Chains A and B, each alone.
Chain A
Amino acid sequence: MKPLIDVQHLNKTFHLPQRSLDTVKDRLFQLFTPNPKRVLPVLRDVTFSVSGGEFIGIVGRNGSGKSTLLKILAGIYRPDPGARIELEGRISPFLELGVGFHPELTARENVHVNAILLGLTPSQVANRFEEIIRFAELEDFVEQKLKFFSSGMQVRLAFAVAIQVDAAIFLMDEVLAVGDMAFQEKCLDVFRAFKKRGSTVILVTHSMSHVENFCDRLLVMEQGRLVFDGDVTAGIREYIRLNHAVEHG
């Protein structure tokens, strides 16, 4: 069967200038002084593929490249030349707490903008709006501007929108980091429904219990490399070993 996601030799390097030259004035005045760039490889030769219906976990220590990987899959960052990435089907990204909201627009307007950007048609937005608001438990705040929302409320709303998209692939970065226990339980219900429905999910998380409960396969990242790809139990062991290696030098 043809994989839904196919990633071959993915590299991503950030070139950070030592001094920032981000105006015409700076460029003119410093035309002849060298400005060496710090080269920061964030992803190194990452190769993996995902078949339809798989629930995949990605774990790794901070700065191991998990979020950058998801951003490249979502089409937001551009990979270095030479990589081959193929994705089949619509993607619903929920990245870095997923809050692509405008503070001066109301919840209703923000939901509308985000849902259209994620590929819903206006009539689908109208039909699913009630459900989005009910899931986010924000019935009393529909006409309030987002700037008055707590961070928990914003994340709930963003997640509620993301799961209403008819996507083939859901990219979920740290969904469960915010939100109280009741909301986390609701998110877990959504994951169970995804599993039942056969949606493809890539879940970045730090919670080993979520990995154990939901994932069919685990990817472990370390310093931009994919160091493990396979069985969940063995993957968790590998991840714990990596963390211990750092603790004990």
Chain B
Amino acid sequence: MALYKTDFSLRQSLEIIRVLAVTDFKLRYYGSYLGYLWSLLKPLALFSVLYIVFSVFMRWDVANYQLYLLLGIILWNFFAESTSVGVTALAARSHLIKKVYFPRIVAVIATAVSALLGLLLNLLVFFVFAFLSGLPLSSTVFLAPFFLVLLFFLILGISLLLSGLYIPFRDINQIWEVLLQLLFWLTPIVYPLSFVPEQYRFWLFLNPMTGIIQYIRILTIDGTFPSLMGTLYVFCAVVCIFLAGLFVFSRFESVAPEQL
């Protein structure tokens, strides 16, 4: 087998992730300083219309519903956007992959990191919103970043899986779009978990996004702790999906320069 003594150091890999993520971020919001506002418009528009439908028309009476909904949509939007961009993380950089060797996993990580920058800006908007609606922040919010890290690795795992499968299957992104739509309604984002009958909750929690979004919300808004069992399940599910992603990616990445 080929043996290259020019293995990439961790420092150089991190440097590549940084430069790819920054240019990715620039490209996404390119053209105007309003570029970032446009990206914020999508979750805000969805939030407004869902809020009107469920809070005003259907008169759901849920404490802090607007904050629940906004945080849920921001987190979901991060998940949905970064995984759908992640599908083509390699294909979008085929101009580089065909010319220079670098560890190809770096391209997928960079895509997720650039989406993370967008999430941090959106969370800033959420906290301004929460402050304006007079929500007292409890100290449990400092545990929320743990679940954000899990969310990041879930996204990375799914992006690795999908970008690997995209090499032999070019319609994987359409399939993923359909799955995303189903998952959106199978995650308690629009409706509170308390509306779901007991016997169905277990099935909802099989979807790791349910735990992640629910736990971040109760830590941030209610000031209560998630259950240990639930946390453990989410952790294990994320680890499994991440490892599955790594496995699939490593099977297909070496043919990427020839097939893309």
Contact = CB atoms under 8 A, between A and B. Distances in A.
A186 interface: no
Contacts of A104: 27, 30
B5 A87 contact: yes
Contacts of B2: 72, 75, 78-79, 83-85
Given A100-B98, A104-B30, A78 B254 contact: yes
A93 B4 CA distance: 14
Interface string A41-72: 00000000000000000000000000000011
A93 B1 contact: no
Interface string A7-46: 0000000100000001111010000000000000000000
B195 interface: no
B95 A100 contact: yes
B6 A112 contact: no
Interface residues of B, number: 33
B258 interface: yes
A14 B259 CA distance: 10
Nearest to A95: B99
A121 B26 contact: no
Interface stretch (B16-24, B70-78, B153-161, B203-211): B16-24
Contacts of A96: 98-99
B172 interface: yes
A147 interface: no
Interface string B95-120: 11111111000000000000000000
Contacts of B201: none
B27 A117 contact: no
A249 interface: no
Contacts of A109: 23, 26
Given A23-B169, A77-B258, A87-B6, A121 B15 contact: yes
A100 B30 contact: no
A93 B170 contact: no
Interface in A81-127: 81, 83-91, 93, 95-96, 98-102, 104-105, 109, 112-114, 116-119, 121-122
A74 interface: yes
Contacts of B27: 102, 104-105
Given A75-B4, A87-B4, A112 B19 contact: yes
Central interface residue in A88, A99, A118, A119, by most chain B CB within 10 Å: A119
Nearest to B19: A116
Given A113-B23, A118-B100, A84 B257 contact: no
A198 to B, nearest CB: 19
Contact of A24 (B96, B100, B175): B175
Interface residues of A, number: 44
B6 A14 contact: no
Nearest to B165: A24
Given A23-B170, A78-B254, A113-B20, A100 B100 contact: yes
B98 A76 contact: yes
A98 B99 contact: yes
Given A83-B2, A95-B99, A117 B171 contact: no
26 contacts: A22-B168, A22-B170, A25-B171, A75-B4, A75-B101, A76-B97, A76-B101, A77-B258, A79-B2, A83-B2, A84-B2, A85-B2, A85-B3, A85-B4, A86-B3, A86-B5, A87-B5, A93-B99, A93-B100, A99-B99, A102-B95, A105-B23, A117-B16, A117-B100, A119-B12, A121-B15
6 A-B pairs with the lowest CB-CB distances in the bound complex, closest first: A75-B101, A100-B99, A23-B171, A85-B2, A116-B19, A78-B254
Given A22-B170, A96-B99, 13 more contacts: A24-B175, A72-B2, A75-B6, A76-B100, A77-B258, A78-B254, A79-B1, A81-B1, A85-B4, A90-B6, A99-B99, A100-B100, A116-B19
